[in-house]
Amino acid sequence: MATTEECRAALDKLSDHMRSAEGDVRSAAELDRSVSCHITDLDVTFAGRMADGRIDVRETLAGPPREKAEIRLAMTGDDLVALVAGELNFARAWGSGRVKLEAGLRDLFRLRKLL
């Protein structure tokens, strides 16, 4: 089982990948939205902001998200680490319910370019 520190490192790595992206992926990554990622097996939430092509994690909270972020993710720590490492396909994980992504319809259309 992934630790809180490994999950935080995975989010930092994802942020680095987003910042170095180009084209449509870079365009999708440049949304300015509040974001939360609830790690279900650790019952920890990383909350922050997606802006300027990066994810800025501002808080690590015990339990589920306290506020409704504009982009909300929920998954196990192992799935987060595997997604960022390229070992787990996001679309398949989302389709099977292993990963939950909630956002407004317009944001979902833009975020699909990241997949």
Parent domain of 59: 4-114
Picking from 14-23, 43-52, 87-96, which range would have the lowest pLDDT averaged per residue?
14-23
Task: Compute and round to an integer the Cα radius of gyration of the chain.
Answer: 13
Number of domains in the chain: 1
pLDDT of res. 103: 93
Residue 111 has pLDDT above 70, yes or no: yes
Q: Is 0.75 topped by the overall pTM?
A: yes
Residue 53 has pLDDT above 90, yes or no: no
Residue pLDDT, tens place only, 65-90 = 989 999 999 999 999 999 999 999 98
Tell me how far CA of residue 40 lies from CA of 23, 65, 74, 99, 109, in angstroms. 33, 11, 7, 10, 25
Q: Are 37 and 11 contacting, i.e. CB atoms less than 8 angstroms apart? A: yes
Q: What is the CATH number of the domain that holds 64?
A: 3.30.1050.10
pLDDT of res. 30: 74
